[in-house]
Amino acid sequence: MDFYLGLMQIIGVHTLLGLSAYCVLLTGQVSLAQAGFFAIGAYVAGMLTVLAQWPLVPALGVSAVVAGAMACAVGFPALRVKGLMLVVATIAFGEAVRLFFFNFTYQVQAGNLKLGPHGAEGFRQIRYFPENGWTTLDVMLFIWTVVALVMAGVWWLDRSRAGAVLRAVGEDELAAQSTGINITAVKVSAMTIGGVIAGIGGGIFAHYTTHIEHVQFGVVLATFAIAYPILGGLSNVLGTLLAVIFIQGFLIEGLRFMGDWRNLLFGGLIVLAMNVRPRGLLDAGAMLALKRLVVPSKDRNGA
C-alpha cells in the first residue's frame, strides 16, 4: 500500500512541475528553466525547515516567493529572445542554478550531526515529516491538497480573461501586440506564476525525498517538466495530469516488470505518442468528445 501512496506523492509533485511549465507554454515559450526554479524551491524550503526550524507551510510560502522572484528577474532578460534562443538561455540558467548548488556549502553543527547543504554530497536529513510524525498517507493527502489548490487556480486563470491573454500571445504575438497587449508583461507574468508553482513543488519534493542533490535538478528534469504539458496537450490542465500519470505511473512504474526493456520503450513511446497525437493526448478534439459523452442531450440541442 505504501508503494502506491509513494507513487501518488511522486505524481503529485511532478504535476506541480508540469503545471509550472504549462503556464509558460501557454504564452508559446519553451522554458527549460523550470528545473532551476524547482531546485531553488527545494533548497530554500529545506534550509528553512532544517536550519531555521520553521513549520512546513510558511517555508513553502517563502520558497514560492523566492522562486517566483527569481523567475521574474530571469524572465525580463530571457524573454527578449524566442524559440531556440530561449530554450538555450533557459537551459543555461537552469544549469547555472544546478552548478551553483553543486558548489554551495552552508552547514551548521547540530549535536553530533552537521546539517545543511554540502556541495556535491547534497542536502541530507530533511526530516520534517518523520520528526513531526506524519505518515505516508498524511504526506500524500497534504501533497494532493496543494496540487488540487494549484490546479484549481491554474484552471481558473485559464478560464479567465488573463488566460485568454496568455493564449493570445501564444497563438500570434504580432496580432496580440496590435490589440494592445503588453507582450513582455504577459510573458514575464506567466514566467513568474510558473516560478511560484515550481517553487512550491520543489519545496514539497525536498521534504518527501529527505535528501536532495544537484544531479536531481538537471536537464532531464527540465525536459520532463515541459514534456508533461506538451504530451498531455495544452488545451486543459487535466492534460498535464494525464501525462504525468502516463509517464510516472505507466511508463516508469507500470512497466517495471519489463526490466531493462522499460527504458527502451520509454523514449519510443514518447516518439510514438507525438506521431499519433501531435497536439497532445488530451487535445481540443478529445475534450469536445469527452464533453459530448458527459452531456449528450445539450450537445444535440446545440447542433
Partner 1 sequence: MDALDLIDAVQSVADGVLFGATYALLGIGFTLVFGVMHKINLSYAAASIGAAYASLLIVAGIKAPAILVFLAAAAAGGIIGGLIYLVGFKFIPLANPLATLMSTVGLLLLIDEIIVHTTAGVPLNYPALFSDVIVPVGPFNLRGDLMFVFALSCACMVVLLLLLYRTRLGLATRAVSQQPTASELCGISITRVNVLTFVITGVVGGIAGAMTGAAIGMLSPLLSLPLTVKGLIVTVIGGLGSIPGAIIAGLVVGGLENVFQFFRGVSERDLYIMMLLFAFLIFRPGGVFAMPVGRD
Minimal distance, residue 96 CB to partner 1, in Å: 4
Q: Which is nearer to partner 1, 127 or 262 (CB)?
A: 262
In angstroms, the CA 297 to CA 38 distance is: 45
Least spacing, CB of residue 287 vs partner 1, in Å? 17
Nearest CA to 94 out of 281, 226, 222 is that of 222
* Binding segment toward partner 1, per CB under 8 A, in 61-69, 158-166, 182-190, 271-279: 271-279
Residue 241 engages partner 1 in binding (rule: CB under 8 A): no
Q: Is 301 in the site for partner 1 (CB under 8 A)?
A: no
The three cell numbers locating residue 181:
497587449
Q: Give the CA dihedral 198, 199, 200, 202, nearest 10 degrees.
A: 80
Read out DSSP for 215-240?
A: GGGSHHHHHHHHHHHHHH-TT-HHHH
Lookup: cell for 235:
488545451
Residue 274 CA to residue 186 CA, distance in Å, equals 28
Which helix (H) or strand (E) is 118 found in, with range?
A: strand 117-118
Considering only 132-140, 180-188, 193-201, 263-271, which stretch makes contact with partner 1 by CB under 8 A? Answer: 263-271
Bridge partner residues of 114 (DSSP): 109
Sole residue written with cell 505518515 = 135
CA terminus-to-terminus distance, the chain: 47
Q: Indicate the residue among 1 and 84 with the shorter CB distance to partner 1.
A: 84
Whole-angstrom distance, CA of residue 283 vs CA of residue 277? 8
Binding-site member from 278, 288, 291, 296 for partner 1 (CB under 8 A): 278
Interface with partner 1 includes 130 (CB under 8 A)? Answer: no
Using the Cα atoms of residue 192, residue 198, residue 199 and residue 201 in order, give the sign of their dihedral.
positive
Sites for partner 1 among residues 38-57 (CB under 8 A): none
How far apart are CB 153 and partner 1 at their closest, in Å? Answer: 23
- The reply on whether position 279 binds partner 1 by CB under 8 A is yes
Q: Which stretch binds partner 1 (CB under 8 A): 45-53, 200-208, 266-274, 290-298?
A: 266-274
Is 254 near partner 1 (CB under 8 A)? no
Query: Which amino acid is present at 139?
Result: V
100 binds partner 1 (CB under 8 A): yes
Quick check: 184 and 77 in contact, CB under 8 A?
no
Does residue 30 sit in helix, strand or coil?
coil
* Candidate residues 136, 184, 209, 223; the one interacting with partner 1 per rule CB under 8 A: 223
Q: How far apart are CA 171 and CA 163, in angstroms?
A: 12
Contact between 25 and partner 1 (CB under 8 A)? yes
Our finding on whether 149 is near partner 1 (CB under 8 A) is: no
Site string for partner 1, 61-90 (x = CB under 8 A): ----------------xx-xx-xxx-xxx-
Q: What Rg value do the Cα atoms of the chain yield, rounded? A: 20
Among 230, 237, 242, 286, binds partner 1 (CB under 8 A): 230
171/299 with CB nearer partner 1:
171
Q: Footprint of partner 1 on this chain (CB under 8 A)?
A: 25, 30, 77-78, 80-81, 83-85, 87-89, 91-93, 95-96, 99-100, 102-103, 119-120, 218-220, 223, 226-227, 230-231, 234, 260-261, 263-264, 266-271, 273-275, 278-279
